[in-house]
Amino acid sequence: MSDRATRLGVLGSPIAHSKSPGLHLAAYRRLGLEWSYERVEMDGAGVGEYVRTRDATWRGLSLTMPLKYDVVPALDEIDVVARLTGAANTVLLDDGRRLGFNTDVGGIVRSLAEAGLHEARSAIIVGGGATAASALVAVAELGVAHVRLLLRRPEAGEPLVELGRSVGVVVEPEHIGALADAAPVDLVVSTLPGGTDAGVAASVDLVGGALLLDVAYAPWPTPLASHWIIAGGRVIDGSGMLLHQALLQVRIFVGGDPAAVLPDEAAVLDVMRESLR
């Protein structure tokens, strides 16, 4: 796997802003691997053909939205997390096989652990896309039993209600306006795209009692995070999730398994974290 011709890349649209190349290249240089990692502008209509036509020089791909859903039909196998969420953000190309993984769940869990949150009982998730599905599986791992799912169209939340049943979490879809009078919970996860305004301010009780993980990191702060910060609440942005999901991707591309710890992994994580600065 140390061949200089080994190629990787991140696919999405738009993709020019992606910080993934810096994260991954920092890791591979620290590991002594002369691998390349490039940005590829790609929409959902083209991702299947692109994945299927990679030659033997390619080791893997990272995917941003909306490709996390669109890529799944092109894969030969997916891991249990990708199967649960219906979304894969990582493709390992291994001896002609196309293997899909979801490292977003692990990225969320690890970033929350760095913020001191290792377990929770209740949560609010704002938004309903692929990242919301990953957030739901992540909070289930933390022990959350009940989630209020806040959406502009609550009727669109049924797939996440079903996902909640499969991981033992009761999910109640509500209108996003419920933020205004929400009671305290342990954790709020906002999965709204960066810069999107929820159109409502969170209640004083919610801001005072819950840690907010806003998965956006640019532009920062988001309107919701800005409100939280001004009110004195606890907030973390999405850079930790980005960092830790990328570390798990590096494990997959190097060792074939998100559980395969890298050589001198602490140092690898340090250089990846530095690349974000």
Q: Which residues are catalytic?
A: 68
Q: For the chain, how long is the longest CA-to-CA vector?
A: 57
Distance CA 95, CA 270 (A): 31
Name the 3-class secondary structure at 88.
coil
Distance CA 102, CA 79 (A): 7
255's CB contacts (< 8 A; 6+ apart) are 262
Are the C-beta atoms of residues 70 and 44 closer than 8 Å to each other?
yes
Distance CA 88, CA 101 (A): 5
Distance CA 44, CA 65 (A): 9
DSSP 50-62: HHHT--TTEEEEE
Distance CA 44, CA 74 (A): 11
Distance CA 34, CA 90 (A): 20
| Joined tokens for residue 260 | 């395969």
